[in-house]
Amino acid sequence: MSDDKFARDKNKAMASLTQALDSGDVDGKIIPILKIINSLPGYYTTSSCAGRIMVLEIPSAGEKKEARTLGKWHHKIHLQKLKDCFHQARRGEIWFLVQSPIFHVGVESMEKTSPLLRIAIVNGFKNSGIKTQGKKIIIEITSTERVNTPLGMDGKVMCSDEYLKLLVQVANHAIERSDKKIDRLNTNLFQLHI
């Protein structure tokens, strides 16, 4: 990628990030990581998330673009908080999701991908890899914490409170693990300066 194209892409991404920061749309837990990566020559961040627990209503499997968010949390939750969001469900499949932290990073050259991927993987982001290459090189830094399970249909939850308690426990454990990985990555990103 040419130096001019990379610089334009980075400037555009930084303008978007500044706007998202100003409007409070960036997960606070990951702001230090975003700042470190964006301060380094040859790297910039695009869409990123600290990991989350979600409940979605989807018309049918595979139609995520038409999904409606019933609940979304970037922190641990309680059973009642989960159950409260079910009242919004109307029509379609009700899904419970846990998603790991994810960082998309534009990289200036293929040579710069290896150091960042090495740091990410060593610090627990084992599903990291090169997402795209060609006009832009994008690395996806992500981990293994993931749950996708249906809960019900057309406004009706079809599982017991006991099962929901288990899901909350699993989700909260995933958030704890994710937070530790975010802390480790934040601590060890200085190695990119070498």
**DSSP output for 19-45:** HHHHTT-S-GGGHHHHHHHHHSTTEEE
Position 194 scores a pLDDT of: 46
Q: Which DSSP symbol is given to 62?
A: T
Position 142 scores a pLDDT of: 96
Position 32 scores a pLDDT of: 93
Position 61 scores a pLDDT of: 65
Q: Give residue 166's pLDDT band: very low, low, confident or very high (50, 70, 90).
A: very high
pLDDT cut 90: percent of the chain above it: 75
**What is the C-alpha separation between 168 and 98, in angstroms, rounded?**
10
Mean pLDDT of all residues in 120-141: 91
Q: Name the least confident of 29-33, 132-136, 163-167.
A: 132-136
Phi, psi dihedrals of residue 151, rounded to the nearest 5°? -115, -25
Mean pLDDT of all residues in 86-112: 94
Distance of CA 142 to the CA centre of its chain: 7
**What is the C-alpha separation between 88 and 72, in angstroms, rounded?**
13
Of 2 and 108, the one with more pLDDT: 108
**Quick one: 177 exposed, middle or buried, by C-beta within 10 A (0-12, 13-18, 19+)?**
middle
| Cβ atoms of 143 and 100 closer than 8 Å | yes
Q: Give residue 90's pLDDT band: very low, low, confident or very high (50, 70, 90).
A: very high
pTM of the model: 0.87
Q: Is the pLDDT of residue 123 over 70?
A: yes
Position 150 scores a pLDDT of: 95
Of 3 and 155, the one with more pLDDT: 155
Position 75 scores a pLDDT of: 94
CATH class belonging to 3-193? alpha beta
**What is the C-alpha separation between 154 and 37, in angstroms, rounded?**
43
